[in-house]
With several copies, the nearest count.
Chain A
Amino acid sequence: MFKKILIANRGEIAVRVIRACRELGIRTVAVYSEADKTNMHVRLADETICIGPASAEQSYLNVPAILTTAEITDSEAIHPGYGFLSENPQFAEACAASGIAFIGPTPENIRLGGDKSKAKQVMKRRGVPVVPGSDGPLSGTDSAVKIAKKIGFPAIIKASMGGGGRGMKIINNEEEIQDAFFMAQREALAAFGSSELYIEKYLRNVRHIEVQVLADSKGRIIHLGERECSIQRRHQKLIEEAPSCFVTEKLRKRLGELAIKAARAIKYRNIGTVEFIVTPEEEVYFMEFNTRVQVEHPVTEMVMGMDLVKQQILLASGQPITAKKVFKPRGAAIECRINAEDPDRFIPCPGKIEFMHQPGGPGIRVDTAAYCGWTVPSHYDSLIAKLIAYGSNRQEAIARMRRALDEFVIEGIKTTIPFHKRVLENKDFIEGRIDTGFIDRLNNPAA
């Protein structure tokens, strides 16, 4: 096992990894930018090193500084968290070249996971159903038109290297293709450094359901059931659940088998997530492969009674999966992402937390790096806390989440807590009628 791990991240995920390390008896090295001197992850780690100024490019994305820090602190492994360098194949390669274990999948896994268009191609070839569309990247507007006509409208143009909603354009008819194509190309180039695009059928009001997989270095792969992630605003997840109340035992079995097939197809290692689109008719399409720990991993932990970050570390250290049984969820869990944002307009709202009181009691888990008196910096992601509620069933989990949202006091900055209260009181949400169009309908009830 590793004796010391460097955490190349900040905020709640850095704290999450430190907790896993401490429970495993592993020493931790926190790296931080000048803006994060007083951060919780710096307070909790065994060793701390300032690696650069506030700008992420010069600190949390600064590969030479991070590798040098690993070297001078004798760290044996690096945990990249999510975001930042977690899906950068060059970084995973650089770690390997420096003799430092990268806690995640292989560089090849990351590379394929990042190339959405190629991943779809590979999956299709291996018999995993994908959304109808271009087989690989588009050569130009002509091929976009040709394929769109074949698959029908609406269609969506996406950046091959994209993610997080950028470089995506929905097209409702042939006339819109030209403009959409060039705009998506510009956006994709600016955001991801590649203008490569692909096109697929745009499926409205479907469910976004993902399956957690674990793979050891001997090639054994298991899955830990699904997460329901349909509550999204502009392709950003806001509320996640495990299990999905839509998924029957039969569908769960099929999703699990497809996820394992997908992981096997790319010789996946470590933990990962296979994202699917599921239609109301239970048609399942592969969407993408996430090659890191997900923000929403706690809901799976709650219903499976298992620590995914510890599993990730153990798998990276070469330990095999020994579990014999198929894991079955017990109860239900929901996660609300609490962002330092204006809850109406979703605009980041950094600043000082003048007072904070966390909810507690049965079934409540809080993952946060925030504390009373801490100033949320403006340089990074606005996620400041994840509130997770567990119940013996979905109804109890919802009731717990509601009372916990009422108990959660954060003063001095605006947060998305009021937004979550609205969702948790919505009849459709309570009764499980959720899909990717939920937030639009919540905000425009007439539509």
Chain B
Amino acid sequence: MEIEDIKALLELLKETDVTELELEKEGSKVKITRGRFYAAIEMPQQGPGPAAPPQLKHVEEAGTERLVTVTAPLVGTFYRASSPEAPAFVEVGTIVKKGQVLCIVEAMKLMNEIESEADGVIVKALVENGQPVEYGEPLFLIEPSV
């Protein structure tokens, strides 16, 4: 482990909300704990009410770094098929090509086709049919073919 590696690690962490990192490699070991000060602010739950706010889903998978995450490029309602009767565009296990339609996000009555960003295999579908999705929300995980 070289200083350059750690530099790269810290740079990496800057953009994330990781609070702790431990790494052992070739006899080296590094543990990084990040700014828990601000992580400490927690606003109280806002009143009662049935509608739970949509939240960014945290994807924590072993070996996730090899996977490609397809995210929602706009806010809208997520559909896995072109119509309620039609079959889903893709299922877990489907082999997909870059540019292939994976799902639809409806916004303002417009059906926006979301395409695969890589060749590979769908390993996980993260959103249920008919659910609202946020901008940037992960929709699918794809294991790219090498």
| Chain A residues engaging chain B, CB cutoff 8 angstroms | 22, 27-28, 34, 38, 43-53, 59, 64-65, 67-69, 72-74, 354-355, 357, 371-374, 406-407, 409, 411
Contacts and interface: CB of A to CB of B under 8 A. Distances in A.
A68 B46 contact: no
Closest 6 CB pairs of A and B: A373-B38, A72-B132, A47-B53, A43-B43, A68-B107, A50-B134
A45 B46 contact: yes
Given A65-B107, A73-B51, 14 more contacts: A22-B46, A43-B43, A46-B46, A46-B49, A47-B51, A48-B53, A51-B135, A53-B136, A68-B75, A68-B76, A357-B41, A373-B41, A406-B43, A406-B44
A411 B38 CA distance: 12
Interface residues of B, number: 28
Contacts of B53: 45-48
Interface in B34-91: 35, 37-38, 40-44, 46-47, 49, 51, 53-56, 74-77
Nearest to B51: A47
Interface of B: 35, 37-38, 40-44, 46-47, 49, 51, 53-56, 74-77, 107-108, 110, 132, 134-137
A27 B110 CA distance: 27
Contacts of A48: 53-55
Given A409-B43, A409-B44, A49 B75 contact: yes
A409 B37 CA distance: 14
SS of B interface (majority): loop
Contacts of B40: 354-355, 411
A371 B43 CA distance: 11
Nearest to A53: B135
B41 A355 contact: yes
A49 B136 CA distance: 10
A46 B47 CA distance: 8
A65 B38 contact: no
A52 B37 CA distance: 27
A64 B108 contact: yes
A27 B108 CA distance: 23
A318 B108 CA distance: 26
A51 B76 CA distance: 9
Contact of B74 (A64, A371, A407): A64
A27 B51 CA distance: 10
Contacts of A51: 75, 134-135
